[in-house]
Amino acid sequence: MFNPAKFSGVEIARLRAVCASPQAPAGQHQVRKGTDDEWKIVLGLIEGTIACRNMPAFLPHILRSEECLRLVSTIQAQVEGELIMQLGRSGGVRVTRQSTKAITERILESAELARVNLPALHNMLGQTKTISYDQVTKSIHFYFFTRETAEKHKEVRVPFSGGVYRLLNAHRAAAGPIWDRQRGLNGQPQGRRVEYTILLLNVTRFVDIGRIAAFLKEKILTEFVMEDLDTHTPDSRTSTIWRVTFKLAGCPTFLDGIVRLLWFGTTIIVKPPNVGRRLQCLQCGNLGHTLARCTFTDLQLRGPGGVVVMEEDVKGLEDLARPFLSFEEIKEMAGRRLALQEAAEELAQAAVSPPARGQISGTQAAISLPEVTSPSSAPQAEQGEKFAHMQPDPRPAAPQPWITKQSKKGRSRGSSKAATGQVKAVASQVRTGGQELIGEDGEDWAEGDKN
């Protein structure tokens, strides 16, 4: 699909032929220079003036696999529209029914029973690019080719499993260049929304939150953020709740199946996002009963579903919540973090587009060690560079003296000492299975056989 306000009829026909032209299978390292029309199509894809249900076949020929993956992510970040339908407490979609076709069929079946506005619903589903279910938040996401299309359908009511749901637009109103859509309110590029959030309950001021953070950091290697949810008002219901957000698509391995953390006399309850508004016990972490009706013993609390933290687990851990001693320390730590972030970004950029030969980046120059050259080695290096093109003449092999041997039949024959030694070596190899020839040459052959 081409935007007629951007392309003329002749251009649309020509570019559509380029998109539909078959291509030979691209090798892993076989890329070529793209034509002007091909780059115009790529620019249209990332600016939203061209929409394709399938990526053009020429892309693997002008971009590597990594760049193709980044191109798809760019289109998803700044071109596609997204409407979110948050399901209720009992809602959910089974794994076998999470495809776009299965979700569409379930929506249309519910629409027939509810007798809702079928034309508007059919129009929205016909313009949908794909539908995806988020099992963490229990929400269905409708993705469209453009954000303008999503904005047009945000008022549609969608029936699903006996209920009718509203749609929430995931993006704010578009303003400015399309490349600015990837930036947040602070002007910084926004990361992809891949995160997993849990709640820690029963966390009071008398629980060492700094060492809890250090303990989780040691057990979970991915980056996470901890946030105090206390509203600091007299009627605050969240004064003992902390939110932990991991940059993962799902639950960390360490917390898989864990609902309580026994922290030196305090039972910290772990509330995963799939619990929702269901009742969770503040002693054992299980669902369906309150603390007053909990029958778990101390032995059961230390059983499956719980993690018991011992003294050796926190020995040597740094208190990540220790106070600053001065304003200068705050600025110093902020500067260090910024320098590390810039260094990581520079290394990532260098991995994608390395500097030219003979040039080094600022980070590499900062961490490279100075080269120490002795005074006597400098003239030798210059002399070596000066005469590098001169090759020494090959030395002729020294002539081997000939000897005369008498055979069993009385005949005499002549041979050199070198040839006689080679014959003996071959005969010895045949008798001993090659064991006598294992040496420097034998190791080279072994490596050649392996290769």
Q: Which residues contact 262 (CB under 8 A, 6 or more apart)?
A: 268, 301, 302, 306, 307, 308, 309
Q: Which domains does the chain have, with CATH numbers?
A: 9-78 (no CATH), 81-170 (3.30.70), 196-314 (3.30.70.330)
Q: Which residues contact 372 (CB under 8 A, 6 or more apart)?
A: none
**Residue 340: predicted pLDDT:** 85
**Residue 216: predicted pLDDT:** 93
Helix (H) or strand (E) holding 444, with range, is helix 440-450
> What's the full length of the chain, in residues?
451
Give SS3 for 269. Answer: strand
pLDDT tens digits, residue range 21-39?
A: 887 765 545 678 888 888 8
From CA 153, how far away is CA 137, in angstroms rounded?
A: 22
**Residue 373: predicted pLDDT:** 43
Cα dist from 212 to 234, 236, 281, 284, 309, whole Å: 26, 23, 21, 19, 10
CB 203 within 8 A of CB 209: yes
The CB density around residue 36, as the number of other CB atoms within 10 Å, is 7
From CA 102, how far away is CA 38, in angstroms rounded?
A: 35
Q: Which residues of the chain have pLDDT under 70?
A: 25-30, 89-91, 173-193, 352-451
**Residue 320: predicted pLDDT:** 86
Helix (H) or strand (E) holding 45, with range, is helix 36-47
Q: What backbone torsions phi and psi does residue 316 show, to the nearest 5 degrees?
A: 85, 0
pLDDT tens digits, residue range 262-305?
A: 999 889 999 998 888 889 999 999 998 988 899 999 899 999 99
- As a whole number, the mean pLDDT across the chain is 77
From CA 218, how far away is CA 435, in angstroms rounded?
A: 52
CB 267 within 8 A of CB 261: yes
From CA 407, how far away is CA 236, in angstroms rounded?
A: 111
Cα dist from 56 to 14, 20, 24, 33, 66, whole Å: 14, 7, 13, 16, 16
Is this model's pTM higher than 0.85 or not?
A: no
Long-range pairs of 356-360 with CB within 8 A, sequence gap ≥ 24: none
- What does 342-388 look like in DSSP terms, one character per residue? HHHHHHHHHHHSPPPTT---HHHHHHPPPPP--TTHHHHHHHHHHTT
| The residue to which tokens 């687990």 are assigned | 313
**Residue 388: predicted pLDDT:** 43
From CA 226, how far away is CA 200, in angstroms rounded?
A: 10
CB 200 within 8 A of CB 270: yes
Pairing mode, if any, of strands 196-201 and 128-134? unpaired
pLDDT tens digits, residue range 344-377?
A: 888 877 776 665 555 555 545 444 444 444 444 4
Residue of 432, 430, 431, 429 lying closest to 441 (CA atoms): 429
**Residue 430: predicted pLDDT:** 44
Pairing mode, if any, of strands 306-308 and 260-263? parallel
From CA 311, how far away is CA 317, in angstroms rounded?
A: 11
From CA 165, how far away is CA 138, in angstroms rounded?
A: 13
The tokens describing 126, both together, are 């016909």
Give SS3 for 326. Answer: coil
Largest distance between two CA atoms of the chain: 121
